[in-house]
Amino acid sequence: MDAKKKRVAIVGAGPSGLAACKHALAKGFRPVVFESAAGVGGVWRRTLASTRLQTPASTYRFSDFPWPASADAASTEGLFPRHDQVLEYLAAYARRFGVLDRVRFGCKVLGASYVGATETEVAAWEWWSGNGEAFGDGTGEWHLNVRHGGGGGDGEPESTQTYRFDFLILCIGRYSIAKFPTFPLGRGPEVFRGRVLHSKEYSTMAHEDAAELIMGKRVAVVGAGKSAMDTVAQCAEANGSRYPCTMVYRSAHWMVDPKVARRVKFFTFTSTRLTELMVHKPGEGFALSLLATMLTPLRWVMSKVTEAYYKRSIPMREHGMVPDCGFGQASLGWRLGILPEGFYDRVDEGSVELRRCSSVGFCPDGLVLDGGDDGERERVVGADVVILSTGFDIDRPLRDVFTSPWFSEMIVAAGSSSDDGVLPLYRHCVHPRIPQMAVVGYAESGSSVYPYEMMAKWVAHLLDGAVRLPGVRDMERGVAEWARWGRLARRSCGGFFLKSCIASVTTWYHDQLCRDMGYSSRRKDGLLAEWLQPYGPTDYASIQ
């Protein structure tokens, strides 16, 4: 196979897209990366001025590209890198490995069509892509309808063009389409006299425009996740106690002070093989399943000790911010976040007001809250601006890529169950029934960059023939194992499981990828190190 003659398209130039391009280049391919924005970085290009990384720099990095010493030093002290530092790190990676030369900015993929076999023929295949190879038998290809201009910032007039590729890699992420809640009749945003927007819109504003929007205004933020916390903290810093920002929430999340997390070595402990022995894993077999069950009480005790320490170190009890779920449940589904610096100090000084309720609606002057800890039936929160931090439609970006309704449905639906906790992808990368296409960067973990990089390496090995796929039926059995594990994880987390979250089994997942690529899954020197030392990006640097 002449790699240079094979046409590979990558959609998205965020962290996963950069890794996919870098490793495809390393295998001799010349991929084309379509990016709708004017630069690399994905969600890091447009975010709140106060946003910081959620994990230490030492874990959020590519295996062969270290952070600048200044960022690593700050992270060691519990100050995680700022959003602009993250963006510069990603841009430096793209420059270092020649990725920038392959990116076409201001190009939005409007739709992807597979041409060369009918859906009936594809459904009957016993091998992925017809023969188990990345490029099939050479007759199938992807047609991408791409819009140029209107987003690249170069003044180019808008136009559309169709491109043809032999392989498609989707790196479009989970957090691009806002999810809006439904409200009771007559209590929707239409009755409100002020401005209503989603946190996605607010965070993508230019920093000057975002500051102008909230300055001297009564702001209410609906939600209690990481984006809500960051938004509230930014509003409080801008307006102080004169115009306090109100955070309206139904249930609190586990949000920890970064320095407290550093003291308990949370990020270190959760990434050892010993810790993974305490949780169930997909396809683990009887012995490991029995061991995980036997160790469950130990994990419960450790989680409760950690939970008690956090409750004592962070004033969540005093402010009614104790989550409904336990810390152990939250860590399994990675429903965790890092508190903005000095968040509870702002609550104490009156710059932030916390309002818990069972439901929320709009009125002309603000929000109407029903229920709450104080027993009041209905309360009104006055506001000029309401920011809805109500999450994202994480499946829709993938569904919307395909022009085929069949592919669009299959990419997110595992069998007949809509409650599966994982996307139906073999090795979290390829769908058994969608040919010549891979997904990199959808699965969620505690530190996303190096799992994305491992996916990118696996896909690059698939492209050059080093990874051999089993038959479609066997791939579907592998998908079903992860689906069963996802349902179990969701139940164990009390419904708080983040879809396709591999945070509790990251090393187990990477073991599978290593074996597929022909590398040893044991990456440490010595037995004790293998089980007790945390796994991280540098352990996989030699895999190219």
Overall average pLDDT of the 181-187 stretch? 90
**Tokens at 302, concatenated:** 């450790």
Residue 510's Cβ-count burial label (10 Å; 0-12, 13-18, 19+) is: buried
Give the tens place of pLDDT for each residue, 298-329.
Answer: 989 988 988 898 899 999 999 999 998 888 88
Whole-structure pTM value: 0.93
pLDDT of residue 415: 43
Angle among Cα 485, 486, 489 to the nearest 5 degrees reads 85
Give me the amino acid identity at 2: D
CA atoms of 381 and 365, how far apart (whole Å): 8
CA atoms of 446 and 453, how far apart (whole Å): 14
Query: If we measure between CA atoms, which residue out of 262, 233, 343 comes closest to residue 80?
Result: 262
CA atoms of 473 and 244, how far apart (whole Å): 58
Buried b (16+ CB within 10 A) or exposed e, 226-243: bbbbbbbbbbbbbbeeeb
DSSP 478-517: HHHHHHHHHHHHHHHTTT-PPTTB-GGGHHHHHHHHHHHH
pLDDT of residue 417: 46
Q: Is the dihedral of CA 523, 525, 531, 535 positive or negative?
A: negative
pLDDT of residue 336: 83
Say how many CA atoms lie within 13 Å of 402 toward its Cβ: 23
Q: What percent of the chain has pLDDT over 70?
A: 93
Q: Give residue 150's pLDDT band: very low, low, confident or very high (50, 70, 90).
A: low
Query: If we measure between CA atoms, which residue out of 431, 391, 427, 392 comes closest to residue 408?
Result: 431
Same fold flag, 3-176+393-540 and 180-257+314-390:
yes
- 79 pLDDT higher than 80: no
pLDDT of residue 152: 46
Superfamily of domain 180-257+314-390: FAD/NAD(P)-binding domain (3.50.50.60)
Phi, psi of 114 (to 5 degrees): -90, 130
Going from N- to C-terminal start, the domains of the chain cover 3-176+393-540, 180-257+314-390
Count of all residues that appear for the chain in the document: 544
Q: 3-176+393-540 in CATH: which number?
A: 3.50.50.60
Overall average pLDDT of the 470-483 stretch? 96
More reliable by pLDDT, 520 or 207: 520
Give me the amino acid identity at 481: E
Is 230:206 a contact under the CB 8 Å cutoff? no
- 256 pLDDT higher than 90: no
Phi, psi of 195 (to 5 degrees): -100, 130
Overall average pLDDT of the 276-303 stretch? 93
pLDDT of residue 75: 60
Q: Which residues contact 77 (CB under 8 A, 6 or more apart)?
A: none
Give the tens place of pLDDT for each residue, 397-453.
Answer: 999 999 999 999 999 875 434 456 789 999 999 999 999 999 999 998 877 899 999
Is 405:113 a contact under the CB 8 Å cutoff? no
- 107 pLDDT higher than 70: yes
Q: What does the DSSP 8-state code read for residue 540? A: G
**Tokens at 439, concatenated:** 């997904």
pLDDT of residue 321: 92
Overall average pLDDT of the 42-48 stretch? 88
CA atoms of 39 and 99, how far apart (whole Å): 12
Q: How many helices (H) and strands (E) does the chain have?
A: 19, 18
Is 207:47 a contact under the CB 8 Å cutoff? no
